[in-house]
């Protein structure tokens, strides 16, 4: 029995912020490519997110070399990312045409389309859903890590969907998330009863999987499919536990339970939870537990960003462009998210790997369910960091809008459809996709917008 | 009697074919005759069942996923899809539960392993296995689980290790996690009676939110549940059992969105007296109200909506402006569910109450009127200062002025305005921002059409007297009991249950028994 080990990292003299070591077992092996999706809410405040250095126009394509800018030349929302300028690729002008075409609640549409590139469908009595998987799950299916993917959440609906378009559940409890990654306790010379029970999980799950297969045979249709899927997931778990038992991995310290210092409504709660998730993510990636992680961040208390009382969504997000006070509050909201991203990038960039850092071999994508607080879909805010062998980093890339999408209420102009972003991300992870999600979108003049292929101007 | 679900298009002045789709959402699936899709334990059912399986054991906190919802209910088969996280949490939960169970085996382990470990393993598979599967194991099942036990016992030598692993296999099996309904025997026709044990499970998870007890299992063992008279007798017995409180709590928690109370977060500047402990007291008061009514002498929908009986603690006393320990709220200001602080606070913004949230809640949850979301190109935010608007109500005048809003808000807002006597933490008020409160309003739907009221006490009375509301509540219970949305094939049965609910004056316990008595509850569709 050699499940992962807990170590007291303070004993190693590590300063806060550099909380763990890369897996010793993986040192010297060729770096794997990994991808992290950070998906936040309420779009952005575009005027405070975009960069127009020297008065660059909205209606032309252009690029900005981020490495030559002073921190203060970054837009207010992106400024926390300035220390990572050389490893960033900011993408301005991509539109979520799938969300534009659908005709129900835009928050539901945004969640169902952001990572799927599919036109979401309303579901009677429940949340809207896509008719296929999100890109992270397609990437996950190509990996052989113990966890095909991890989905963490500090509030918000799921943006991750399986092949059938079913939303994946999120882990929102940092303690449970830690226990899942590091199920072993401190190593002991004599295996305890608990160790010996753990060692038998393989045989136990083997029987469980057979029982699901057997019952599935007696059912039909969706019921049968449900149990067959369950059986497959039990098989996967069995394999994962076996793989975990082989891994030598340095665990981070178990998080406090149940958050003695922070409660859900406290100002510091979201930052605490997201911070723990960041550490778990960096540990899981460095240990090779998974190559694909999604972190959903939605819940922020008003006090977290020093905002006055009010419903963040209804009172501020919906007014972000039209009301200066609301615009500043939502700018603070998105800046807070950028600060969190900077924290994650710092962790990944602090782990040496090969001749660089883990960030160089990890694609971190920060995107959003919407483009603005008013539920728009053109110009969704996208920041990529890392993945230096694939992306031409250190740049801000702007695409001017070129085509109108035939929407149910209006026909906004967009730049590249976000399907091309998803295809690009899949290919950054070696999938070799020609397209992802829909292949075309309707224009009001009866023509179609081509959604196939990758983004131009982003690769090395 | 059957009043079809009302779907309320909200596209205002849109003409058909031009506007967004909406207003015609089908709420029934054609040509289905009351299907019985495979369902599994909800998170609360899983926890309750562990409690009842391992009596006397201090169980650890179990981390289980939060299931999605359909029509507000998390026991709907469509959201019960397996995921990697779910499967892993089941495995982890079984590990934690069996370890705790072996620390305190006296209340549940049927034998002494010190006498004969091998025999005790087999006996545990038989006896505890029957309670885990909610039916006796077949001889094949007995054999495979006992074989696992024997294998581990031989290898490891320790009874505790072998029995934990064996119990984990049982607890991760589909017969435990799901409700397989294969039917009593193949018969002709469209429907097949459930086996006695399958029916016992349906009954206990509906009426108790947990597993059958020994009495119900024994009745199933003896084949008594094929008789509808016995089924009804068992249902009444179960409703008189303390475990019925779990089911009543589960239904109302979901139907009334009671978890929202924990997320109430009033503006500290406006409500300096607010303390998070108040939310706990508010929730406890509502839970107590619901159980007090439904386990009391008048377990009716009317009493839920009208009965002012309460139990005021020190946190609630200042909100209700009554003395600590008060047991009946002042009837000029308060009635039942919709006038209690918890519900009122949960449907408020941090500073002001939300007539829209309150109106939508009444329409959707009590009247079964389905509303469409606002058109996306409308800024739904109300301006702080709007002309001469002084009161919260006046701020919402914009809704009826804009034709695109009026389509829905002409129905929503006049209901929501009826609650304007209560501020964002549920305190009674007669003035708002210095001006007198106007809490008059009216209804636009069903037999409530044209009904006018001044304040939520009068409104509650109209709702309590409404056939539309009784039918809606019966439909909500029907969905919950079956764990699925109604289909066309259910409509005669829904109609029958609604009629019975009405005939008994809205008696909720009668309604629950009526659902259980129904043919569609006791049978499944032939495969």
> What pLDDT does residue B230 have?
96
Q: Which of B85, B86, B262 would you mutate first to test chain A, the one with the most A CBs within 10 A?
A: B85
Task: With beta carbons under 8 A apart, name residues in chain B contacting A323.
Answer: 381
Q: What is the pTM of this model?
A: 0.76
Do residue B376 and residue A375 have CB atoms under 8 angstroms apart?
A: yes
Phi, psi of A294 (to 5 degrees): -115, 135
- Cα distance from N-terminal residue to C-terminal residue, chain A: 45
Is the pLDDT confidence value at A16 over 50?
A: no
Phi-psi region of A250 (alpha: psi -120 to 50; beta: other; left: phi over 0): beta
Task: With beta carbons under 8 A apart, name residues in chain B contacting A205.
Answer: 91, 172
Write out residues 75-104 of B within 8 Å (CB-CB) of A: 76, 78-89, 91-92, 95, 98-99, 102
Half-sphere exposure of B462 (CA within 13 A, CB side): 23
Is the pLDDT confidence value at A188 over 80?
A: no
Q: Residue B380: which of A124, A223, A318 has the nearest Cβ? A: A318
Mean pLDDT along residues A8-22: 29
Q: Which of A150, A176, A377 would you mutate first to test chain B, the one with the most B CBs within 10 A?
A: A176
Q: Residue A219: which of B38, B79, B86 has the nearest Cβ? A: B38
CA A33 – CA A415 distance, rounded (Å):
28
Task: With beta carbons under 8 A apart, name residues in chain B contacting A198.
Answer: 95
CA B381 – CA B43 distance, rounded (Å):
37
The minimum CA-CA distance between B379 and chain A, rounded to whole Å, is: 7
Is the pLDDT confidence value at B3 over 80?
A: no
Is the pLDDT confidence value at A258 over 80?
A: no
Chains A and B form CB pairs within 8 A to the count of 189
Q: Give the number of other Cβ atoms within 10 Å of residue A374's Cβ.
A: 21
- The residue of chain B nearest to residue A214, with distances taken between CA atoms, is B174
CA B20 – CA A290 distance, rounded (Å):
42
Interface predicted TM-score of the whole assembly (ipTM), two decimals: 0.86
Q: Give the number of other Cβ atoms within 10 Å of residue B384's Cβ.
A: 11
The single-letter DSSP state of residue B362 is I
Do residue A197 and residue B164 have CB atoms under 8 angstroms apart?
A: yes
Half-sphere exposure of B294 (CA within 13 A, CB side): 28
Q: How confident is the model at residue A111 (pLDDT cuts 50, 70, 90)?
A: very high
Contacts of B180 (CB under 8 A, 6+ apart): A215, A218, A219, B38, B174, B198
Contacts of A377 (CB under 8 A, 6+ apart): A95, A96, A97, A99, A100, A106, A110, A370, A371, A412, A414
> What pLDDT does residue B466 have?
96
Write out residues 379-408 of B within 8 Å (CB-CB) of A: 379-381
Task: With beta carbons under 8 A apart, name residues in chain A contacting B72.
Answer: 125
Cis peptide before B85 (omega within 30 of 0): no
Q: How confident is the model at residue A187 (pLDDT cuts 50, 70, 90)?
A: very low
The minimum CA-CA distance between A13 and chain B, rounded to whole Å, is: 33
Give counts: helices (H), strands (E), chain B: 23, 8
The larger pLDDT score, comparing residue B12 to residue B140, is at B140
CA A337 – CA A352 distance, rounded (Å):
25
Q: Which of B83, B180, B182, B183 would you mutate first to test chain A, the one with the most A CBs within 10 A?
A: B83
Phi, psi of A91 (to 5 degrees): -115, 115
> What pLDDT does residue B25 have?
33
- The residue of chain A nearest to residue B164, with distances taken between CA atoms, is A197
| Nearest C-alpha neighbor of B10 from the set B372, B399, B356, B445 | B372
Task: With beta carbons under 8 A apart, name residues in chain A contacting B269.
Answer: 309
- Helical H segments across A192-268, by residue range: 193-199, 201-217, 221-246
Mean pLDDT along residues B434-453: 93
Please answer whether residues A397 and A63 qualify as being in contact, where contact means their C-beta atoms are separated by less than 8 angstroms.
Answer: yes
- The residue of chain B nearest to residue A207, with distances taken between CA atoms, is B169
Task: With beta carbons under 8 A apart, name residues in chain B contacting A172.
Answer: 66
> What pLDDT does residue A19 have?
32
Polymer length in residues for chain B: 527
> What pLDDT does residue A410 have?
85
CA A275 – CA A282 distance, rounded (Å):
11
Please answer whether residues B422 and B456 qualify as being in contact, where contact means their C-beta atoms are separated by less than 8 angstroms.
Answer: yes
| Nearest C-alpha neighbor of B370 from the set A122, A407, A312, A109 | A122
Q: Residue B20: which of A201, A323, A409 has the nearest Cβ? A: A409
Is the pLDDT confidence value at B278 over 50?
A: yes
| Nearest C-alpha neighbor of A269 from the set A309, A305, A306, A301 | A301
């Amino acid at each position: 029995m050699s499940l992962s080990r807990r170590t007291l990292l303070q004993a190693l003299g590590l300063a806060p912020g550099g909380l763990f070591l890369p897996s010793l077992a993986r040192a010297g092996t060729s770096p794997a490519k990994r991808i992290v999706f950070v998906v936040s809410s309420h779009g952005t405040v575009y005027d405070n997110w975009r960069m127009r250095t020297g008065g660059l126009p909205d209606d032309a394509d252009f690029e900005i070399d981020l490495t030559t800018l002073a921190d203060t030349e970054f837009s207010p929302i992106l400024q926390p990312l300035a220390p990572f300028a050389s490893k960033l690729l900011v993408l301005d002008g991509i539109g979520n045409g799938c969300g534009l075409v659908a005709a129900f609640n835009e928050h539901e549409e945004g969640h169902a389309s952001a990572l799927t590139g599919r036109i979401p469908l309303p579901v009677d009595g429940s949340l809207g859903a896509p008719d296929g998987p999100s890109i992270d799950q397609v990437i996950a299916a190509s990996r052989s890590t113990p966890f095909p993917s991890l989905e963490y959440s500090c509030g918000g609906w799921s943006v991750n969907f399986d092949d059938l378009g079913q939303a994946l559940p999120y882990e929102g409890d940092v303690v449970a998330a830690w226990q899942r990654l590091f199920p072993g306790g401190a190593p002991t010379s004599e295996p305890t009863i608990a160790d010996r029970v753990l060692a038998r999980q393989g045989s136990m799950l083997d029987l469980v999987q057979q029982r699901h297969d057997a019952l599935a045979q007696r059912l039909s249709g969706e019921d049968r499919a449900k149990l067959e899927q369950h059986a497959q997931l039990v098989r996967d778990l069995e394999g994962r536990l076996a793989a975990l038992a082989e891994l030598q991995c340095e665990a981070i310290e178990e998080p406090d339970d149940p958050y003695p210092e922070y409660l859900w409504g406290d100002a510091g709660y979201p930052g605490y939870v997201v911070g723990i998730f960041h550490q778990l993510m960096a540990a899981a990636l460095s240990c090779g537990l998974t190559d694909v992680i999604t972190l959903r961040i939605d819940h922020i208390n008003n006090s977290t960003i020093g905002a006055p009382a009010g419903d963040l969504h209804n009172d501020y997000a919906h007014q972000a462009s039209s009301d200066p006070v609301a615009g500043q509050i939502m700018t603070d909201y998105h800046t807070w998210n950028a600060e969190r991203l900077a924290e994650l990038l710092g962790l990944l960039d602090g782990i040496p790997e090969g001749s660089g850092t883990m960030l160089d071999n990890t694609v971190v994508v920060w995107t959003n369910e919407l483009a603005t607080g008013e539920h728009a879909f053109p110009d969704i805010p996208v920041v990529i960091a890392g993945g230096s062998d694939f992306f031409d980093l250190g740049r801000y890339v702007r695409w001017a809008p070129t085509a109108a999408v035939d929407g149910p209420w209006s026909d906004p102009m967009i730049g590249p459809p976000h399907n091309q972003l998803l295809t690009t991300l899949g290919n950054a992870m070696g999938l070799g996709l020609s397209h992802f999600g829909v292949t075309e979108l309707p224009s009001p003049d009866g023509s179609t917008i081509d959604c196939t292929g990758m983004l131009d101007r982003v690769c090395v | 009697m059957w009043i079809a679900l009302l779907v309320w298009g909200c596209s205002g002045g849109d003409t058909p074919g031009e506007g967004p789709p909406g207003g015609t959402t089908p709420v029934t699936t054609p040509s289905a005759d009351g299907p019985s899709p495979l369902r599994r334990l909800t998170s609360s059912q899983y926890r309750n069942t562990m409690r009842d399986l391992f009596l006397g054991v201090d169980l650890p906190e179990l981390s289980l996923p939060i299931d999605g919802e359909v029509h507000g209910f998390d026991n709907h088969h469509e959201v019960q899809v397996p995921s990697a996280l779910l499967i892993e949490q089941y495995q982890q939960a079984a590990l934690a539960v069996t370890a705790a169970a072996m620390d305190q085996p006296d209340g549940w382990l049927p034998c002494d392993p010190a006498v004969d470990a091998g025999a005790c393993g087999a006996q545990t598979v038989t006896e505890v296995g029957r309670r885990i599967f909610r039916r006796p194991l077949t001889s094949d099942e007995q054999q495979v689980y006992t074989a696992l036990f024997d294998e581990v016992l031989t290898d490891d030598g320790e009874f505790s290790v072998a029995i934990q692993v064996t119990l984990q296999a049982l607890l991760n099996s589909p017969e435990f996690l799901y409700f397989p309904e294969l039917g009593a025997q193949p018969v002709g026709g469209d429907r097949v009676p459930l086996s006695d044990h399958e029916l016992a499970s349906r009954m206990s998870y509906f009426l108790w939110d947990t597993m059958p007890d020994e009495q119900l299992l024994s009745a199933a063992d003896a084949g008594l549940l094929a008789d509808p008279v016995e089924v009804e007798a068992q249902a009444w017995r179960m409703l008189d059992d303390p475990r019925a409180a779990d089911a009543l709590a589960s239904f109302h928690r979901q139907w009334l969105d009671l978890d929202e109370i924990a997320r109430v977060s009033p503006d500290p500047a406006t409500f300096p007296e607010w303390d998070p402990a108040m939310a706990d007291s508010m929730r406890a008061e509502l839970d107590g109200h619901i159980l007090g009514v439904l386990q009391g002498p008048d377990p009716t929908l009317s009493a839920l909506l009208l009965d002012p009986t309460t139990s005021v603690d020190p946190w609630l006393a200042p909100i209700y402006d009554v003395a600590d320990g008060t047991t009946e709220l002042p009837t000029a200001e308060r009635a039942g569910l919709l006038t209690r602080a918890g519900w009122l606070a949960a449907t408020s913004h941090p500073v002001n109450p939300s007539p829209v949230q309150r109106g939508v809640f009444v329409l959707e949850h009590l009247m079964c009127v389905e509303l469409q979301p606002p058109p996306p190109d409308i800024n739904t935010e109300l301006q702080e200062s709007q002309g001469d608007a002084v009161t919260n109500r006046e701020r919402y005048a914009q809704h009826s002025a804009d034709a695109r809003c009026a389509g829905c808000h002409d129905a929503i807002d006049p209901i929501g305005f009826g609650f304007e006597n209560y501020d964002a933490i549920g305190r009674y008020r007669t003035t708002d921002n210095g001006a007198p409160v106007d809490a008059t309003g009216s209804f636009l739907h069903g037999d409530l059409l044209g009904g006018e009221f001044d304040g939520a006490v009068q409104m509650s009375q109209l709702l309590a007297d409404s056939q539309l509301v009784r039918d809606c509540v019966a439909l909500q219970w029907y969905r919950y009991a079956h764990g699925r949305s109604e289909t066309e094939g259910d409509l005669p049965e829904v109609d029958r249950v609604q009629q019975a609910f009405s005939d008994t004056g809205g008696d909720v316990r009668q309604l629950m028994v009526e659902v259980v008595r129904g043919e569609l509850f006791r049978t499944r569709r032939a495969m």
